[in-house]
Amino acid sequence: MNYAIELDRVVWTPGDAFRLDELSLRVPRGSIYGFLGPNGSGKTSTVRLFMGMARPQSGSVRVLDGQVPRDMAHILARVGYVPERPHVYPQLTVGEAMRFHASFHRMWDPHWADQLVERLGLDPTRKIARMSKGEVGKLLVSLALAQRPDLLVLDEPTDGLDPVVRRDVMTTVLDYVSETGATVFISSHLVHELERICDWVGVMDRGALVAELPMNDFKNGIKHLRVETGDPARTSLAEPPFVLLDRKPPNGVSPYETWVVRGWTDEHADWFDPASARLRDVVDLDLEEGFVELLRSQRTTSLASHDASDRSRPPTRLALDSSPED
Protein backbone atom coordinates (compact mmCIF):
# COMPACT_ATOMS: atom_id res chain seq x y z
CA MET A 1 0.00 0.00 0.00
CA ASN A 2 1.18 3.53 -0.81
CA TYR A 3 1.20 5.94 2.13
CA ALA A 4 1.00 9.73 2.28
CA ILE A 5 2.26 9.81 5.90
CA GLU A 6 4.44 7.18 7.61
CA LEU A 7 5.80 7.28 11.14
CA ASP A 8 7.95 4.30 12.10
CA ARG A 9 8.79 3.63 15.76
CA VAL A 10 8.98 7.33 16.60
CA VAL A 11 10.03 8.31 20.12
CA TRP A 12 9.56 11.89 21.29
CA THR A 13 9.64 13.21 24.85
CA PRO A 14 8.84 16.94 24.93
CA GLY A 15 8.70 16.98 28.75
CA ASP A 16 8.60 14.89 31.89
CA ALA A 17 4.81 14.45 31.82
CA PHE A 18 4.32 13.18 28.25
CA ARG A 19 5.95 10.77 25.83
CA LEU A 20 5.26 9.33 22.38
CA ASP A 21 6.78 5.87 22.64
CA GLU A 22 7.63 3.99 19.42
CA LEU A 23 4.69 5.47 17.55
CA SER A 24 4.04 3.88 14.16
CA LEU A 25 1.30 5.38 11.98
CA ARG A 26 0.41 4.98 8.29
CA VAL A 27 -2.02 7.12 6.32
CA PRO A 28 -3.01 5.53 2.98
CA ARG A 29 -2.64 7.85 0.01
CA GLY A 30 -5.99 9.14 -1.21
CA SER A 31 -7.77 8.41 2.08
CA ILE A 32 -9.64 10.67 4.47
CA TYR A 33 -7.99 9.68 7.72
CA GLY A 34 -9.66 10.59 11.00
CA PHE A 35 -7.23 10.93 13.90
CA LEU A 36 -9.21 10.55 17.11
CA GLY A 37 -8.31 10.87 20.75
CA PRO A 38 -9.20 12.73 23.93
CA ASN A 39 -7.57 16.07 24.65
CA GLY A 40 -3.95 15.57 25.68
CA SER A 41 -3.64 12.17 24.00
CA GLY A 42 -0.84 13.26 21.63
CA LYS A 43 -2.74 14.17 18.45
CA THR A 44 -1.23 17.63 17.99
CA SER A 45 2.23 16.34 19.01
CA THR A 46 2.00 13.75 16.23
CA VAL A 47 1.03 16.45 13.70
CA ARG A 48 3.96 18.60 14.80
CA LEU A 49 6.33 15.70 14.16
CA PHE A 50 5.29 14.96 10.59
CA MET A 51 4.95 18.67 9.78
CA GLY A 52 8.61 19.15 10.72
CA MET A 53 7.91 21.40 13.73
CA ALA A 54 9.50 18.93 16.16
CA ARG A 55 12.26 16.36 15.79
CA PRO A 56 11.95 12.92 17.42
CA GLN A 57 14.67 11.32 19.52
CA SER A 58 14.48 8.22 17.31
CA GLY A 59 12.44 6.64 14.53
CA SER A 60 11.70 7.86 11.01
CA VAL A 61 9.04 10.13 9.50
CA ARG A 62 8.07 10.25 5.82
CA VAL A 63 5.48 12.47 4.12
CA LEU A 64 4.57 12.28 0.41
CA ASP A 65 7.65 10.11 -0.26
CA GLY A 66 9.97 12.67 1.34
CA GLN A 67 12.03 12.29 4.51
CA VAL A 68 11.28 14.60 7.44
CA PRO A 69 13.06 16.92 8.15
CA ARG A 70 15.49 16.56 5.23
CA ASP A 71 12.95 17.18 2.45
CA MET A 72 10.63 19.60 4.23
CA ALA A 73 10.90 22.34 1.60
CA HIS A 74 9.58 20.00 -1.10
CA ILE A 75 7.03 18.41 1.25
CA LEU A 76 5.51 21.68 2.48
CA ALA A 77 5.05 22.86 -1.11
CA ARG A 78 2.49 20.06 -1.47
CA VAL A 79 0.82 20.25 1.95
CA GLY A 80 -2.09 22.46 3.02
CA TYR A 81 -2.20 22.93 6.79
CA VAL A 82 -4.89 24.27 9.12
CA PRO A 83 -3.36 24.44 12.62
CA GLU A 84 -5.22 24.18 15.89
CA ARG A 85 -4.56 27.88 16.53
CA PRO A 86 -5.01 30.57 13.84
CA HIS A 87 -1.84 31.68 12.08
CA VAL A 88 -3.07 34.83 10.28
CA TYR A 89 -2.23 38.48 10.94
CA PRO A 90 -5.33 40.15 12.41
CA GLN A 91 -4.52 43.55 10.92
CA LEU A 92 -4.88 42.20 7.35
CA THR A 93 -8.09 41.96 5.38
CA VAL A 94 -9.25 38.66 3.88
CA GLY A 95 -8.01 39.70 0.44
CA GLU A 96 -4.64 40.85 1.81
CA ALA A 97 -4.21 37.58 3.71
CA MET A 98 -4.90 35.58 0.54
CA ARG A 99 -2.35 37.58 -1.47
CA PHE A 100 0.22 37.36 1.33
CA HIS A 101 -0.04 33.57 1.53
CA ALA A 102 0.00 33.28 -2.27
CA SER A 103 3.55 34.66 -2.32
CA PHE A 104 4.80 31.59 -0.41
CA HIS A 105 3.21 28.86 -2.56
CA ARG A 106 4.22 28.19 -6.15
CA MET A 107 1.11 26.02 -6.68
CA TRP A 108 -1.26 28.77 -5.53
CA ASP A 109 -4.35 28.98 -7.76
CA PRO A 110 -5.68 32.58 -7.70
CA HIS A 111 -8.89 31.73 -9.57
CA TRP A 112 -9.62 28.88 -7.16
CA ALA A 113 -8.78 31.18 -4.22
CA ASP A 114 -11.40 33.69 -5.39
CA GLN A 115 -13.93 30.88 -5.76
CA LEU A 116 -13.26 29.71 -2.20
CA VAL A 117 -13.75 33.21 -0.78
CA GLU A 118 -17.05 33.56 -2.61
CA ARG A 119 -18.22 30.02 -1.86
CA LEU A 120 -17.61 30.34 1.88
CA GLY A 121 -19.20 33.76 2.07
CA LEU A 122 -16.10 35.72 3.05
CA ASP A 123 -15.81 39.48 2.50
CA PRO A 124 -12.41 40.26 0.87
CA THR A 125 -12.40 43.75 2.42
CA ARG A 126 -13.14 42.65 5.98
CA LYS A 127 -10.31 42.84 8.52
CA ILE A 128 -9.49 39.56 10.22
CA ALA A 129 -9.48 41.26 13.64
CA ARG A 130 -13.20 41.97 13.19
CA MET A 131 -14.16 38.48 12.03
CA SER A 132 -15.97 35.84 14.07
CA LYS A 133 -14.32 32.54 14.96
CA GLY A 134 -16.36 30.82 12.26
CA GLU A 135 -15.25 33.30 9.62
CA VAL A 136 -11.61 32.86 10.60
CA GLY A 137 -12.08 29.07 10.36
CA LYS A 138 -13.41 29.47 6.82
CA LEU A 139 -10.44 31.69 5.93
CA LEU A 140 -7.90 29.18 7.24
CA VAL A 141 -9.41 26.37 5.16
CA SER A 142 -9.48 28.65 2.11
CA LEU A 143 -5.79 29.46 2.55
CA ALA A 144 -4.93 25.75 2.78
CA LEU A 145 -7.01 24.70 -0.22
CA ALA A 146 -6.01 27.58 -2.50
CA GLN A 147 -2.50 26.16 -2.86
CA ARG A 148 -3.95 22.96 -4.42
CA PRO A 149 -2.33 20.56 -1.92
CA ASP A 150 -1.78 16.84 -2.42
CA LEU A 151 -2.11 16.43 1.37
CA LEU A 152 -4.46 18.47 3.54
CA VAL A 153 -3.72 18.42 7.29
CA LEU A 154 -6.50 19.71 9.54
CA ASP A 155 -5.79 19.96 13.28
CA GLU A 156 -9.13 20.43 15.11
CA PRO A 157 -10.42 22.45 12.12
CA THR A 158 -13.99 22.95 13.37
CA ASP A 159 -13.49 22.97 17.14
CA GLY A 160 -15.77 25.61 18.63
CA LEU A 161 -17.55 26.39 15.35
CA ASP A 162 -21.31 26.32 15.01
CA PRO A 163 -22.95 23.46 13.04
CA VAL A 164 -23.64 25.57 9.94
CA VAL A 165 -20.01 26.69 9.63
CA ARG A 166 -18.77 23.13 10.27
CA ARG A 167 -20.99 21.84 7.48
CA ASP A 168 -19.84 24.53 5.03
CA VAL A 169 -16.16 23.89 5.80
CA MET A 170 -16.32 20.09 5.59
CA THR A 171 -18.46 20.16 2.42
CA THR A 172 -15.83 22.34 0.75
CA VAL A 173 -13.07 19.94 1.83
CA LEU A 174 -14.98 16.90 0.56
CA ASP A 175 -15.66 18.54 -2.79
CA TYR A 176 -11.95 19.27 -3.20
CA VAL A 177 -11.05 15.65 -2.39
CA SER A 178 -13.65 14.38 -4.85
CA GLU A 179 -12.15 16.57 -7.57
CA THR A 180 -8.43 15.96 -6.92
CA GLY A 181 -8.06 12.66 -5.03
CA ALA A 182 -5.99 14.41 -2.36
CA THR A 183 -5.24 12.82 1.02
CA VAL A 184 -6.83 14.41 4.08
CA PHE A 185 -5.60 13.96 7.66
CA ILE A 186 -8.12 15.28 10.20
CA SER A 187 -7.18 15.40 13.88
CA SER A 188 -10.22 15.87 16.10
CA HIS A 189 -12.00 14.85 19.28
CA LEU A 190 -15.42 15.42 17.62
CA VAL A 191 -16.15 11.78 16.90
CA HIS A 192 -19.53 12.14 15.20
CA GLU A 193 -18.15 14.68 12.73
CA LEU A 194 -15.56 12.22 11.44
CA GLU A 195 -17.86 9.21 11.29
CA ARG A 196 -19.65 10.37 8.14
CA ILE A 197 -16.63 11.51 6.13
CA CYS A 198 -13.58 9.35 6.98
CA ASP A 199 -12.64 6.02 5.44
CA TRP A 200 -9.73 5.34 7.82
CA VAL A 201 -9.42 5.94 11.54
CA GLY A 202 -6.55 6.06 14.00
CA VAL A 203 -7.11 6.32 17.76
CA MET A 204 -4.58 7.89 20.13
CA ASP A 205 -4.58 7.62 23.92
CA ARG A 206 -1.86 8.70 26.34
CA GLY A 207 0.80 8.97 23.66
CA ALA A 208 0.09 5.59 22.03
CA LEU A 209 -1.74 4.61 18.86
CA VAL A 210 -4.25 2.06 20.13
CA ALA A 211 -6.06 1.41 16.83
CA GLU A 212 -5.60 2.03 13.11
CA LEU A 213 -7.92 0.47 10.53
CA PRO A 214 -10.62 1.18 7.91
CA MET A 215 -13.58 3.06 9.34
CA ASN A 216 -16.09 0.36 8.38
CA ASP A 217 -14.02 -2.31 10.13
CA PHE A 218 -13.86 -0.18 13.26
CA LYS A 219 -17.61 0.50 13.36
CA ASN A 220 -18.67 -3.02 12.42
CA GLY A 221 -16.16 -4.95 14.52
CA ILE A 222 -16.98 -3.66 18.02
CA LYS A 223 -20.32 -4.89 19.43
CA HIS A 224 -22.30 -5.25 22.62
CA LEU A 225 -23.50 -8.82 23.16
CA ARG A 226 -26.27 -9.72 25.59
CA VAL A 227 -25.49 -13.20 26.91
CA GLU A 228 -27.48 -15.51 29.15
CA THR A 229 -25.04 -17.63 31.16
CA GLY A 230 -25.82 -21.20 32.19
CA ASP A 231 -24.33 -23.68 34.66
CA PRO A 232 -20.53 -23.09 34.94
CA ALA A 233 -20.04 -26.82 35.55
CA ARG A 234 -21.39 -27.54 32.09
CA THR A 235 -19.21 -24.99 30.29
CA SER A 236 -17.87 -26.39 27.03
CA LEU A 237 -16.86 -23.17 25.29
CA ALA A 238 -13.54 -23.07 23.49
CA GLU A 239 -11.37 -19.98 23.12
CA PRO A 240 -13.58 -17.32 21.46
CA PRO A 241 -12.85 -16.31 17.85
CA PHE A 242 -13.31 -12.64 18.85
CA VAL A 243 -11.59 -10.43 21.43
CA LEU A 244 -13.52 -9.94 24.67
CA LEU A 245 -12.85 -6.35 25.73
CA ASP A 246 -15.17 -6.23 28.73
CA ARG A 247 -17.74 -8.39 30.55
CA LYS A 248 -20.40 -6.81 32.74
CA PRO A 249 -22.68 -8.82 35.07
CA PRO A 250 -26.48 -8.61 35.01
CA ASN A 251 -28.01 -5.55 36.64
CA GLY A 252 -31.45 -4.39 37.68
CA VAL A 253 -32.29 -3.34 34.13
CA SER A 254 -31.19 -6.46 32.24
CA PRO A 255 -30.97 -10.07 33.43
CA TYR A 256 -28.19 -10.79 30.93
CA GLU A 257 -24.43 -10.27 30.96
CA THR A 258 -23.15 -7.60 28.61
CA TRP A 259 -20.02 -8.46 26.64
CA VAL A 260 -18.06 -5.86 24.71
CA VAL A 261 -16.24 -7.63 21.88
CA ARG A 262 -13.91 -6.69 19.03
CA GLY A 263 -13.56 -8.45 15.70
CA TRP A 264 -17.16 -9.66 15.64
CA THR A 265 -18.74 -11.28 12.56
CA ASP A 266 -22.15 -12.92 12.19
CA GLU A 267 -20.51 -16.37 11.98
CA HIS A 268 -19.25 -16.01 15.53
CA ALA A 269 -22.78 -16.59 16.85
CA ASP A 270 -22.20 -20.33 16.21
CA TRP A 271 -19.46 -20.34 18.86
CA PHE A 272 -21.96 -20.06 21.73
CA ASP A 273 -23.16 -23.22 23.48
CA PRO A 274 -26.72 -22.88 24.89
CA ALA A 275 -25.77 -25.10 27.85
CA SER A 276 -23.20 -22.63 29.12
CA ALA A 277 -23.77 -19.30 27.36
CA ARG A 278 -26.70 -18.38 25.13
CA LEU A 279 -26.39 -15.35 22.80
CA ARG A 280 -29.53 -13.28 23.18
CA ASP A 281 -28.77 -10.14 21.19
CA VAL A 282 -26.08 -8.33 19.22
CA VAL A 283 -26.14 -4.53 19.54
CA ASP A 284 -24.42 -2.27 17.00
CA LEU A 285 -22.38 0.66 18.30
CA ASP A 286 -21.84 3.98 16.58
CA LEU A 287 -18.33 5.36 16.22
CA GLU A 288 -18.41 7.31 19.47
CA GLU A 289 -19.61 4.32 21.48
CA GLY A 290 -16.96 2.09 19.92
CA PHE A 291 -14.34 4.77 20.56
CA VAL A 292 -15.30 5.02 24.25
CA GLU A 293 -15.35 1.24 24.73
CA LEU A 294 -11.95 0.91 23.07
CA LEU A 295 -10.38 3.55 25.32
CA ARG A 296 -12.02 2.09 28.43
CA SER A 297 -10.73 -1.41 27.69
CA GLN A 298 -7.27 -0.08 26.79
CA ARG A 299 -6.98 1.83 30.05
CA THR A 300 -8.25 -1.12 32.09
CA THR A 301 -5.68 -3.39 30.42
CA SER A 302 -2.89 -0.86 31.01
CA LEU A 303 -3.84 -0.40 34.66
CA ALA A 304 -3.92 -4.14 35.29
CA SER A 305 -0.56 -4.52 33.57
CA HIS A 306 0.99 -1.77 35.67
CA ASP A 307 -0.41 -3.21 38.90
CA ALA A 308 1.13 -6.57 38.07
CA SER A 309 4.58 -5.23 37.16
CA ASP A 310 6.69 -2.09 36.92
CA ARG A 311 4.46 0.99 36.86
CA SER A 312 7.04 2.95 34.89
CA ARG A 313 6.44 1.02 31.67
CA PRO A 314 4.49 2.77 28.86
CA PRO A 315 0.90 1.65 28.07
CA THR A 316 0.49 -1.50 26.02
CA ARG A 317 -0.71 -0.93 22.45
CA LEU A 318 -4.01 -2.60 21.64
CA ALA A 319 -3.44 -3.70 18.05
CA LEU A 320 -6.58 -4.29 16.01
CA ASP A 321 -6.71 -7.05 13.43
CA SER A 322 -7.13 -4.81 10.40
CA SER A 323 -4.17 -2.45 10.77
CA PRO A 324 -2.65 -1.50 7.38
CA GLU A 325 0.10 -3.67 5.92
CA ASP A 326 2.72 -3.04 3.24
Single pTM value for the model: 0.82
Let me know whether 198 and 228 are in one domain.
no
Let me know whether 163 and 302 are in one domain.
no
Let me know whether 181 and 41 are in one domain.
yes
Distance between start and end Cα atoms, the chain: 5
Residue 35 lies in a domain: yes
Taking the C-alpha atoms of residue 46 and residue 185, their distance in angstroms, rounded to an integer, is: 11
Whole-number pLDDT of residue 264: 87
Angle subtended at Cα 7 by Cα 213 and Cα 32, rounded to the nearest 5 degrees: 45
Let me know whether 160 and 24 are in one domain.
yes
Taking the C-alpha atoms of residue 230 and residue 237, their distance in angstroms, rounded to an integer, is: 11
Taking the C-alpha atoms of residue 81 and residue 26, their distance in angstroms, rounded to an integer, is: 18
- Burial label for 326, CB within 10 Å (0-12, 13-18, 19+), is exposed
Let me know whether 325 and 305 are in one domain.
yes
Residue 158 lies in a domain: yes
Q: 251: Cβ–Cβ under 8 A, 6 or more apart, which residues? A: none
Let me know whether 36 and 59 are in one domain.
yes
Question: Crossing angle, helix 133-145 and helix 163-180, to 10 degrees?
Answer: 10
Whole-number pLDDT of residue 231: 63
**What count of residues does the chain have?**
326
Let me know whether 226 and 146 are in one domain.
no
Tally of structural domains, the chain: 2
Let me know whether 19 and 103 are in one domain.
yes
Domain that holds residue 314: 216-326
Residue 211 lies in a domain: no
Question: Crossing angle, helix 94-102 and helix 110-119, to 10 degrees?
Answer: 150
DSSP H stretches of helix in the chain: 43-50, 72-76, 94-102, 110-119, 133-145, 163-180, 191-195, 215-221, 287-308
Select from 153, 177, 205 the last residue of a domain: 205
Residue 314 lies in a domain: yes
Whole-number pLDDT of residue 180: 96
Let me know whether 138 and 11 are in one domain.
yes
Whether the ω angle into residue 28 lies within 30 degrees of 0, i.e. cis, is no
Taking the C-alpha atoms of residue 165 and residue 286, their distance in angstroms, rounded to an integer, is: 24
Look up residue 6 and give its DSSP letter: E
Distances (CA, A) of 30 to 73, 107, 270: 22, 19, 38
Question: Crossing angle, helix 133-145 and helix 94-102, to 10 degrees?
Answer: 30
Q: What does the pLDDT profile of the chain (326 residues) look like in tens digits?
A: 799 999 999 999 987 778 898 999 999 999 999 999 888 888 989 999 999 999 999 999 999 999 999 999 999 999 999 998 888 999 999 999 999 999 999 999 999 999 999 999 999 999 999 999 889 999 999 999 999 999 999 998 877 778 888 889 899 999 999 999 999 999 987 787 788 899 999 999 888 998 898 988 887 778 899 999 876 555 567 788 988 888 888 887 788 999 988 888 889 999 998 878 889 999 988 888 888 887 887 776 665 554 544 444 444 333 333 333 33
DSSP assignment string, 160-188: T--HHHHHHHHHHHHHHHHHH--EEEEEE
Residue 164 lies in a domain: yes
Let me know whether 159 and 193 are in one domain.
yes
